[in-house]
Amino acid sequence: MELGGWHAALAEFLAKGGPAIWAIAALSVVTLGLILWKGWRLALMGAWAGARAERAVALWLGGDADAARASLAGRVGLRAALVRAAMDALAAGLPETAAREETTRVARGLLDEARRGLRALELIASIAPLLGLFGTVLGMIEAFQTLEQSGARADPAALAGGIWEALLTTAAGMAVAIPAALAEGWFASVAARAQHDMEDLATRLFVARAGQGGG
């Protein structure tokens, strides 16, 4: 289909859907933007990178604290940032409770950043089908008003056409909600995996300190 024909088909689709379809179309643009932005942000935060943090913990547990901290220099990944914060707290000679609280504070901030935007995707996944249903109800009302006004001269084909046009908004709402829900679930699982790894790494550091009789 040529570009001009595609634009014409899109314009016709939006016109048939009424105001609800315009709201859903706006949500689809927002959803796409959120998904792209969130994927980019998680990549920048190193949500899928953990090898350097694992190596740093192994060095620390092996007694080479300087090499462990040096290996994390300049690393901005979630796991690396958490491990660096835990090592700094331990190296500062803080009591274990204070060191754990400081590490927890850093972890909470990192995870909040990792989960930012997920609530918006969750809301879109809930709102889009409702907007679609609202548009369908409005379309059905209009179709039956037309049927009432036609009386005995009602054309079944015209009624069927009005009904399928009304159902367009339901389909559009689901088409927006499904990707939003899938993306929200995937990003949430990435954040949950990062949280699990961060807890594991920090626990290993603090257990090693306890075994050495520190704090």
Q: How far apart are CA 151 and CA 170, in angstroms?
A: 28
Q: Is residue 202 part of a domain?
A: yes
Q: Is residue 80 part of a domain?
A: yes
Position 167 scores a pLDDT of 80
In a domain, 9, yes or no: no
Of residues 75 and 35, the one with the higher pLDDT is 35
Segment 103-115 shows an average pLDDT of 93
User: Looking at the domain assignment, is residue 18 inside a domain?
Assistant: no
Distance CA(52)–CA(67), nearest Å, equals 12
**Torsion, Cα of 52, 54, 56, 60 (10° steps):** 180
Contacts of 159 (CB under 8 A, 6+ apart): 143, 146, 147
Q: Which domain holds residue 154?
A: 24-211
Question: Residue 198 falls within a domain, yes or no?
Answer: yes
Residue 59 is encoded by which pair of tokens?
A: 């060095």
Mean pLDDT of 74-98: 87
178 band by pLDDT with thresholds 50, 70 and 90:
very high
Note every long-range contact of 158-166, with CB atoms under 8 Å and residues 24 or more positions apart, other chains counting. Answer: 163/139, 165/16, 165/17, 165/139, 166/135, 166/136, 166/137, 166/138, 166/139, 166/140, 166/142
Residue at token pair 């088909």: 9
What is the DSSP secondary-structure string of 11-36?
HHHHHHH-HHHHHHHHHHHHHHHHHH
Instruction: Give which of 161, 169, 154 is closest to 18, Cα–Cα.
Output: 169
Instruction: Report in angstroms the alpha-carbon separations of 20 from 25, 31, 138, 179.
Output: 9, 16, 9, 19
* 4 inside domain: no
pLDDT for the residue numbered 125: 95
Q: What is the pLDDT of residue 15?
A: 60
Mean pLDDT across the stretch 79-98? 88
Q: Token digits for 78?
A: 């979630």
Interval 136-176: pLDDT, tens: 887 777 777 776 666 656 566 556 656 767 788 888 899 99
**Residue 122 falls within a domain, yes or no?**
yes
C-alpha to C-alpha distance for 200 and 113, rounded to whole angstroms: 19
Residue 23: phi and psi, rounded to 5, are: -65, -40
Identity of the residue numbered 79: R
Residues 6+ apart with CB under 8 A from 93: none
Number of domains in the chain: 1
Would residue 89 count as lying in a domain?
yes
